[in-house]
Structure 1
């Protein structure tokens, strides 16, 4: 599986270095150099220990919640450097804790409409000895709704960088909502 991830990263780097200068689907310049990106994601299958999106679930009186967002700056056309923060917790009869999550990475829009992201994410969990960290790879499709808003459904794979953390590699589905300005 790790060979597959390294092959994907190599293809991503190749695609970025050989991308065409022409813009196909983005005439408004939402991903042009100097623009900003504010993004909020919903994640299905998000690791509980590393979440910079919105999430809430409750089962039999136990609840897991998170609130977060990501921001990016386009350093060149179609390539944004991003950071993200999240805060959440787990509340149950046996367990009550708070989680602070963080993310740093790069997001590239192939042909200005196919976002591909590579990032490092992690968390600090109150009263837990081993904090999780992940290498994340995701891809999707940007649906631009005018000049300032996009919806970005996609898929993501989180490769666990901790051998001693209970939640290992995870696969998830995302729906991202982004503001471009």
Structure 2
């Protein structure tokens, strides 16, 4: 599955090289992350980061496709009946965004994202078995281009898929937690 998805991203990134213009870049971001949904009313935000690269493939003058590969530190803080602890989730996220230039400086973007769980720790202990290995999300964002090369952006990632593996009670009834990632990112990017 991972090979198929990475192959699709490679085709998107390199298949459009004959488009009007393709530029590559790097970006970094500060994340404000949490987990939302059933049974996580006590989740608080955790500060993380993103770092990675992207390709901006102009389709027409005002529209571009922007595939990215990002390492993202996510998770949440919990204060509940089990005590206080941090759930730290590290993902390799691959968003593919449609980016529209409102003006030369201002852009808006939206698109799906797939994430692969690299590690999961709860208070420093390995918890990867409790989390799903693939996460799906949808991104909405806006950006500002200071120069042709330097830009800043804000993006919200709405989790679409549950992050927890299915759990069952003592009677083998499935427990529906419906817990999803929620990420607000403030980024700086540099295009070559």
- Please classify the TM superposition score into its range, dividing by the shorter chain length: 0.5 to 0.7
Q: Choose the corresponding residue for 2:93, options 136, 142, 146.
A: 136
Q: Which structure has the larger Rg over C-alpha atoms?
A: 2
Q: Structure 1's 129 and 165: CA in aligned 2 closer, same or farther, altered over 3 A?
A: farther
Structure 2 unaligned segments of length 5 or more: list them: 78-83, 120-127, 147-192
Aligned CA distance change for structure 1 residues 169 and 128 (closer, same or farther; 3 Å)? farther
Deviations 1:102-124 (A, max 9, x none): 10011211126111111110136
Q: Provide the TM-score with structure 1 as the length reference.
A: 0.56
| In 2: Cα distance, 1:79 partner to 1:10 partner | 13
When normalised by structure 2's length, the TM-score is 0.54
Equivalent residue, structure 2, for 1:180: 145
Pick aligned residue for 1:171 from 136, 141, 147:
136
Q: In structure 2, how many angstroms separate the alpha carbons of the residues matched to 1:93 and 1:110?
A: 39
* Structure 2 Cα separation of the partners of residues 179 and 13 of structure 1: 23
Match of 1:100 in 2: 47
When the two chains are superposed, the root-mean-square deviation of aligned CA atoms in Å is: 3.1
- Identify unmatched segments of 5+ residues in structure 1: 24-76
Query: Where in structure 2 are the equivalents of 1:1-181 lying within 5 Å?
Result: 1-12=1-12, 14-15=14-15, 19-20=17-18, 22-23=20-21, 78-88=23-33, 95-111=42-58, 113-123=64-74, 125-126=76-77, 127-128=84-85, 131-162=88-119, 163-166=128-131, 168-181=133-146
When residues 6 and 147 of structure 1 are mapped into structure 2, their CA distance, relative to the original with a 3 A threshold, is closer
CA distance in 1, matches of 2:41, 2:107: 40
Change in 2 beyond 3 A, CA 1:149/1:156: same
Per-residue CA deviation, residues 66-98 of structure 1 (Å, 9 max, x unaligned), is xxxxxxxxxxx6222100112355799973544
Equivalent position SS for 2:8? helix
Structure with greater proportional strand content: 2
The answer to whether the 8 A contact 1:87-1:101 is kept is yes
Residues 103 and 165 (structure 1), Cα distance of their counterparts in 2 relative to 1, 3 Å cut: farther
